[in-house]
Amino acid sequence: MAWFLAAIAVSISFWVISLSRILSSSSCVPSNPPFFRTGSGKKRNALLVIAHPDDESMFFAPTILFLNSEGHNIHILCISTGNAEGVGNNRKEEIYRACAILKIPLQQVKVLDHPCLQDGFKNTWDHELLARLIEDEIKVWDIDSLITFDDFGVSGHPNHRDVHHGIRMLLSANKQRKFEAWELVSRSIFRKYTGPLDVWLSIVSSSYYRQTQIYCLLNNRPSKSYLAMAEHQSQWVWFRKLFVLFSSYTYMNTLQKIIDLE
């Protein structure tokens, strides 16, 4: 029993130390070259492409808060209303409220409801259609930076993965493009639920793999993630509350530049 209590005490201490490291840090681990560096001082026009309302709060809050802190313009394109359970209209309103918490102007948040792009594990989304719709938003807002899921899509949800592949198709079709794309690196099941403890491995990986342009963005205001996610009332059940508390995505995002290999 004594060793068990000692292990708990050590774990709690390490959790507190890790959280303190995040809360006392800048929003981006120092890197060379700096993330989103603009030599002329021009602010970026970033488009975050997600699959469902609540993706922005559950997975991308550290990225959003970083972009805000640097004064960049953030736009969100949500591909579906998340209507798998018939509450799509409610979820559409919830993302607007969550984005207000995250300081994203409502006129810069767009939620689609295309008949061929409906929420669901069994629904396959057309990558070519996704590419066209995303390209339209790039032109409207003069976007120079895309941010989205990686190939696994954090949870393996097929809608998340389809968004990634739609952007891949867009990149392949625009060889002379003036925009770049970044993906949120998915974590193993162990690292996914270590909360702020994952900060140490994330910092090491972002420093070690500099040649692949990978960056660790820290969230020194994790309460913002919780408050934003709480606006998604239709989804705010007990296990998602625990997810936001223990998920490493609440405390940091690791973004990697998408390189077109085709």
Confidence of residue 201 (pLDDT cuts 50, 70, 90): confident
**Strands, DSSP E only, in 89-227?**
109-111, 145-149, 180-184, 214-218
- H helices, E strands: number in the chain: 12, 7
For the ranges 31-35, 193-197, 206-210, 217-221, which has the lowest average pLDDT?
206-210
| pLDDT over 80 at 148, yes or no | yes
Burial class (CB in 10 A: 0-12, 13-18, 19+), 4: exposed
Measured CA to CA, the distance from residue 113 to residue 97 in angstroms comes to 18
Measured CA to CA, the distance from residue 129 to residue 230 in angstroms comes to 32
User: Which CATH class for the 44-257 domain?
Assistant: alpha beta
pLDDT (mean) for 4-28: 61
For the ranges 33-47, 54-68, 168-182, which has the lowest average pLDDT?
33-47
For residues 139 and 170, the answer to whether their CB atoms sit within 8 Å is no
pLDDT (mean) for 123-132: 97
Please state, as a whole number, how many other Cβ atoms lie within 10 Å of the Cβ of residue 225: 27
The predicted-structure confidence for 60-119, as pLDDT tens digits, reads as follows: 999 999 999 999 999 999 999 999 999 999 999 999 999 999 999 999 999 999 999 999
Question: Which tops the pLDDT comparison, 34 or 110?
Answer: 110
Measured CA to CA, the distance from residue 35 to residue 29 in angstroms comes to 9
For residues 203 and 18, the answer to whether their CB atoms sit within 8 Å is no
Q: Is the pTM of this model over 0.85?
A: yes
The predicted-structure confidence for 129-145, as pLDDT tens digits, reads as follows: 999 999 999 999 999 99
